[in-house]
Amino acid sequence: MEIVSVETYLLLLLLWLFSTLFVHSYLKISRRNNNSTVPPSVPSRLPPTPLALPLVGHLYLFGPLQHRSFRTIARRFGPLVRLRLGSLGYLVSVCSPAVAKELFKTNDINFASRPRLAGLEYIGEGDSRFAFASYGPYWKFMKKLCVNELFSTRKLDRMVRIRREELHWLLGSLSERAGAQEPADMDALLTALTNNIICRMAMSTRCSGNMNDAEVCKKVVQELIEIAAKLNLVNVLGFLGGMDVLGYGKRLTDVHGKFMTMVERIMKEHEEKQQRKRKQMSGTGGDGEEYHEQEQEEDLMDILLKASQDDKAEIKLQRDEIKVFLQDLFIAGTETASVAMQWALAELINHPGAFKKMRDEIERAIGNSCRVVEDSDIPNLPYVQATIMETLRLHPAVPLILRESSRDCTVAGFDLPAKTKACINVWAINRDPDEWKDPDEFHPERFLNSDGTLRIGSGDMKGQNFHFLPFGGGRRMCPGTSLALRVMHVTVAAMVQCFDYRLVGGATKVNMRETGGFTLRMAHPLHCIPLPRTNKSFYLCKRNDE
């Protein structure tokens, strides 16, 4: 529901003008119904709801930043509010930790599915996509693959070389900007970093190494999210829903097709590699001679192809299901981590004291070893961990989480029928003033004890700390949490260890305005000039990249 373009504002203006023609008669009907002494035929206690307008429902209450609008409504009507958003119908807005606990714990299975969004018909049906599949055998099977094969501790440990190489690529890119005194586009660089990590783990290919693949990946991450948000806005507005008058559906189809073509090519390469491996195990390379191929770690594509060929597998994966699963993984893994790291660096630049504390902690932990921070250092860097926690508290990558109930239930004393859509406002929950002191302030120390150690349980991100939900909660919470944290910890720490930063145009503070959309992006992406440090770590970054 992103509101960013001129055509979006025009649509809202037209609907507003049209709806005002009905307001007078609507208010008359509402007053007559409210004064009626006839009891309702089906007694139920629904959550409170503001006055709705014809056609647009409660859209008139929303500004460009939906998470902030939901919080404003909650402050007036309560933590569980029933709203009608155009053609999407009714949903309930959840803005408190207590109500979130009822959804993610008490009613976890009931709210383990996601509602169908506009645009899925252009990029694959909902139940064939892991991100939007209903809670059932298919979703459970794919979740198991994620947890056991791609994001397991064993797998992440074995993939540390990939993350280290991509980190050195990032530091080398910053070194080049520093040498030329040129601004670095941190949005582009951090997106490329996460692109490459996910691509190499999933498909053993580095997107930035192939210009065609790099362009496809960039469009997938940026255009799919941007266009899908606009398409859902048009769908919410009602009568324009399935007409694609602005061409967003066609654009989605085009970029989706390019990605699917790329993955099909990579899939065929993997199948050829598997065939060569089978021939190697049989002792010949197909031409009568012994064949040898360098041993490689199995990536997710290999695992998915094996599952699709296994007649005894719980789920028989189809070719297109593999492709859309990789697309979901690619979009989620790239966008969320890169956005969070950009916010973290921006906060540290705006808070020089926190920047210095982090650097001092890193230098104490590493000592005179003259190397870039690594995964193994993170347990000894509590301030680094606290800084990432505080960044995710203030700027959760996905500020609004959507769920849908599978049956009737009661939440916070209110009756919710089956198929109720629930919008959990993670952004508002993470800033609840009843749970956090100075909730809008950047203060990493809130996660630390007086001696500088981490406060046990304060930064739990496994979905059981219901006033801190950066990755969601319940069984449907983000399966890539472990990978995201590993990437964020080391990358942010290395950027602080190796460089100082100067803002462009003589600015002294980063503009921290947000923009609306599925992810919580900076309205003005971070551009800054990296400054070389005089210590050895800067030159080490340069040598590692070379």
Q: Which residues carry a binding-site annotation?
A: 478
Length reported for the chain: 546
Helix residue spans in 35-87 (DSSP H):
66-77
- Contact status, residue 398 vs residue 519, Cβ threshold 8 Å: yes
- Contact status, residue 319 vs residue 267, Cβ threshold 8 Å: yes
The residue among 259, 250, 254 whose CA lies nearest residue 231 is 250
Distance CA 14, CA 234 (A): 13
- Contact status, residue 481 vs residue 396, Cβ threshold 8 Å: no
Q: Where are the beta strands (DSSP E) in 209-264?
A: none
Query: 342-355 in b/e burial notation, b at 16+ Cβ within 10 A?
Result: bbbbbbbbbbeebb
How many CB atoms sit inside 10 A of residue 439's CB?
A: 16
φ and ψ of 311, to 5 deg: -70, -20
- Contact status, residue 442 vs residue 347, Cβ threshold 8 Å: yes
Distance CA 37, CA 235 (A): 37
Q: Which residues contact 28 (CB under 8 A, 6 or more apart)?
A: none
φ and ψ of 411, to 5 deg: -130, 125
φ and ψ of 470, to 5 deg: -65, -25
Distance CA 400, CA 290 (A): 56
């890119």: which residue's tokens? 173
Distance CA 139, CA 131 (A): 9
Query: 182-211 in b/e burial notation, b at 16+ Cβ within 10 A?
Result: ebbbbbebbbbbbbbbbbbbbbbbbbbeee
The side-by-side arrangement of strands in the sheet containing 527-532 is 184-185, 527-532, 499-503
Distance CA 433, CA 441 (A): 11
Residue numbers belonging to the annotated binding site for heme: 478
